[in-house]
Structure 1
Amino acid sequence: MTPEKRQNLEALALRVREHIVRLSTDGGCFTGASLSCADLLVYLYADYLNVRPDNLTDPGRDYLFLSKGHDVPALYGTFVELGLLDKDRLARHLSTDDHIYWHPNRHVPGVEFHSGSLGHLPSVALGVALDCRLRGQDNKIIVVTGDGELNEGSVWEALLVASAHRVNNLTLVVDRNQFQANVATEDLIPLEPLAPKFEAFGAVVRRIDGHDFDQLATAFSALPFSEDKPSVIICDTVRGRGLPSIEARADRWFCNFSAEEVEELLRELHSQEATSLTSETLTVR
């Protein structure tokens, strides 16, 4: 990936994080969980997937299913920045006058399927992947899950079927931020070693830093990892990424900040970005 493309993606991800922070008031949202997958969704929609404002109903488009539906602030923030969603609609978050609330709603163009209860969309994505294959189409089918979501048996059932039918156009992406709601995953139902579990269910697995755009590009450009197996990409991420005051905190899954707190967090977000850019400049020199 060129430095210019990386910088553009980083700037886009910063703006998406701003939207997430602004949605964290007047009823709140799942802030920490959304911040952990912002880079992932930005990369997928801005650089990898064939999804644009003018092809949202085209059968030849690619498909992303956000099974980890409570991360919808990151999805809608990305939609706004890429022209798929009117920015003004975010101001109606949790209003009965719109469909912008805590989980994805298909009334919002670009949302492929509702997701609230966890564990359902790997099976939906599998069905779409099979349908596309039967039609002779080469659509990319991505389903994004949380790591705590992996406690749902339906995720593993979908993988068994995908493996049995050699569905290689399906990719399951795990936002591995180490938390399930307000508990660390390894304190509740330990998941590690995670990659061998997926391999045992018939998938080919790669594990990367989910905040590194170069690693994201390398992994996704190699898909499918096998000609006759589903692919899994485990993205190691940090809950609350970009805001040190809430990073990796169990109590910052869902947040409802005051207007004053939101402004303070936005200042913190930009302060961190400035520090990061300074560090990168010094490293280059």
Structure 2
Amino acid sequence: MTTTRAEKVRDAAYRMRHHILDMGEVQGQGYVGQALGVADLLAVTYVDQLRFRADDPHWPERDRFLLSTGHYAIALYAALAEAGTVPVTELETYGSDGSRLPMSGMASYTPGMEISGGSLGHGLTVAVGMALGLRLKGREQRVFNFLSDGELDEGSTWEAAMGAAHHQLGLLTAMVDMNALQADGPTENVLGIEPAEEKWEAAGWFTQRVDGNDIDALLAAFDAAAEQARPVGRPSVILCDTRIGRGVPLLETREKAHFMRIDEDEWQLCREQLSEGYEGAR
């Protein structure tokens, strides 16, 4: 039986969500909601789009994936485990002393983690510099930058966006988690970013906006970005509307969703809801 691209990605996203719940239970809390929300996006990236070698994270010919939002590290660890870069058994060390998997992403600790996540709003700037540096070296690896909608409140993000278009970094693709929530509340209440599409287009980017939990839509958007990708050309951005806690109804409706505290007796219920939803969709 032939497995379609979408089925491969969907299966990977399901396993990643289980990894996320397992890691979250180690700490009893964390950025679980965001991670569940972007599992589909990262599954498409690592299963279908990114060129890498699981056993050689520093392979010179690899595409670069930069996680600007360091607190989303739990989601990236799940993707790296699915990709084979990090052993699944190592996920149980998440956030523990001496672990290679700290709660905020650190490039010096984790294989496959290209940059350390600290103050938000710097990832795209680094990605622009990396893409420009690769081109100056005559290389044609693609650079993918994951950032959040909250980072669109940062001036440095827009400086980087203008710089990417100015230098015609056609091998740069940004993906934005448009989950509409920040630490201080809904994004629209903190500092409104809409109309986001028009702003990116005005900055000179090839812009798409999709349902970030629709795998078919994500695959189509990434394919369109890949068709645009060339050493000199327009950079691409994919704005992904996601749902916090996606796949686990108990968490999708939780009010305090930015940093979740999940009771001890709820973790198994979360897993059961995830499995029920996955089986029901097959």
- Cα shift readout 1:58-108 (whole Å, capped 9, x = no counterpart): 221100101122111111111112211012221112211213122112121
Unaligned segments of structure 1, at least 5 residues: 278-285
Are 1:259 and 2:261 counterparts? no
Q: What is the one-letter code of the residue matched to 1:63?
A: R
Which residue of structure 1 lines up, in the alignment, with residue 14 of structure 2? Answer: 14
Equivalent in 217, 239, 247 of residue 244 of structure 2:
239
Q: Is the 8 A contact 2:55 2:84 kept in 1?
A: no
Distance in structure 2 (CA, Å) of the matches to 1:167 and 1:82: 27
In structure 1, distance between residues paired with 2:90 and 2:36:
20
Partner of 2:279: 274
Residue in 1 that maps onto 2:97: 96
Paired residue for 1:47? Answer: 48
Match of 1:280 in 2: none
CA contact (8 A) 2:8 2:47 kept: no
Deviation readout 1:138-166 (Å, 9 max, x if unpaired): 11101011111211111111011111111
Q: TM-score, normalised by structure 1?
A: 0.91
Deviations 1:218-237 (A, max 9, x none): 22122253753221111111
1:75 corresponds to which residue? 76
CA contact (8 A) 1:69 1:115 kept: yes
**C-alpha separation between the residues in 1 aligned to 2:91 and 2:111?**
14
- 2:173 partner SS: strand
User: d(CA) in 1 for partners of 2:64 and 2:94?
Assistant: 24
More off after superposition, 198-207 vs 124-133: 198-207
SS at match of 1:34: helix
**Structural RMSD (CA):** 1.7
Counterparts of residues 1-285 of structure 1 (less than 5 Å): 4-27=4-27, 28-106=29-107, 107-181=109-183, 183-223=185-225, 225=228, 228-247=233-252, 249-277=254-282
Task: Verify the 8 A CA contact 1:6 1:213 in the aligned structure 2.
Answer: yes
Q: Take 2:223 and 2:4, find their aligned partners in 1: how far apart are those partners?
A: 18
How much identity, in percent, do the aligned residues show? 36
- The CA distance in 1 between the partners of 2:148 and 2:106, in whole Å, is 18
Deviates more, 1:231-240 or 1:208-217: 208-217
Residue ranges of structure 2 left out of the alignment (5+ in a row)? none
- TM-score, normalised by the number of residues in structure 2: 0.92
